[in-house]
Amino acid sequence: MADDKEAAEAFVSEVHKRISNAFDVFDHEFNHTVDVREIGTIIRSLGCFPTEAELHDIIAEVEEEEPTGYIRFEKFLPTMTKVLMEHKFRPIPDDLLLQAFEVLDQQKRGYLEPEELSKYLMQEGETFTQEEMEEMLSAALDPDKNVIFYKDFVGMMTIDDTQ
Partner 1 sequence: MCTYIAMKAAILIQRWYRRYIARLEMRRRYTWNIFQSIEYAGEQDQLQLSSFFSFMLDNFSQLNGKEPDLISHLLDPAVDTAVDPVVEDQRQCRYEHILVPESYSGPHLSFPLSVTDTNALLGAFKEQQTLHAKYVLQLLDKTQKFLKQMPNVIYVSSSYAKEITICGDLHGRLDDLLLIFYKNGLPSAENPYIFNGDFVDRGKKSIEIIIILFAFLLLYPDHMHLNRGNHEDHIMNLRYGFTKEVMQKYKTHGREILQLLQDVFSLLPIATVIDNKVLVVHGGLSDHTDLDFLNTVKRHKVKSALRLPKCSVDRKDVRTSSTRQRGGARLHSPHSTGHVPHRRKGHHTRPSSSSSSSSSSSSTPSVCSPHHRPPSPGTPCPTSMLQVPFLDSIVSLAPPQPPRDELEWKQVVDVLWSDPKTQNGCSPNSFRGGGCYFGPDVTEQLLRKHGLCLLIRSHECKQDGYELCHNGQVITIFSASNYYEEGSNRGAYVKLGPELVPHFFQYQVSRCTRKLTLQQRVSVAESSALKALQEKLFAHRSELMTAFQQHDVNNTGKISTAEWTQVVDSVLRLDLPWRTLRPRLVQLAPDGDVEYESCFDSISLGQPIPKVAPNLAETLCRYRTDLEIIFNIIDKDHSGQISIEEFRQTWKLFSSHLNMDVDDKAIDDMARSIDFNKDGSIDFNEFLEAFRVVHKLDIKEQQHG
Are the C-beta atoms of 76 and 39 separated by less than 8 Å?
A: yes
Q: What distance in Å separates the CA atoms of residue 148 and residue 126, rounded to the nearest whole number? A: 21
- Closer to partner 1 by CB, 1 or 144: give it: 144
Residue 21: its H or E element: helix 2-26
Choose which of 16, 36, 45, 73 interacts with partner 1 (CB under 8 A): 45
DSSP codes of every residue in 64-112: -SS--SEEEHHHHHHHHHHHHHTT-SPPPPHHHHHHHHHHH-TT--S-B
Choose which of 16, 50, 73, 118 interacts with partner 1 (CB under 8 A): 50
Q: Is 104 in the site for partner 1 (CB under 8 A)?
A: yes
Choose which of 1, 2, 60, 103 interacts with partner 1 (CB under 8 A): 103
CA-CA-CA-CA torsion sign (62, 64, 70, 75): negative
Q: Is 157 in the site for partner 1 (CB under 8 A)?
A: yes
Q: What distance in Å separates the CA atoms of residue 48 and residue 38, rounded to the nearest whole number? A: 14
The interface region with partner 1, picked from 1-9, 14-22, 57-65, 79-87 by CB under 8 A, is 14-22
Q: Which DSSP category does 50 fall into? A: -
Q: Is 7 in the site for partner 1 (CB under 8 A)?
A: no
Q: Is 72 in the site for partner 1 (CB under 8 A)?
A: no
Are the C-beta atoms of 16 and 77 separated by less than 8 Å?
A: yes
Q: Is 110 in the site for partner 1 (CB under 8 A)?
A: no
Least gap, CB of 2 to partner 1 (angstroms): 20
Return residues touching partner 1 (CB under 8 A): 17-18, 21-22, 24-26, 29-31, 40-45, 48-52, 92, 96-97, 99-101, 103-104, 106, 120-121, 124-128, 132, 135-136, 138-139, 157, 160-161
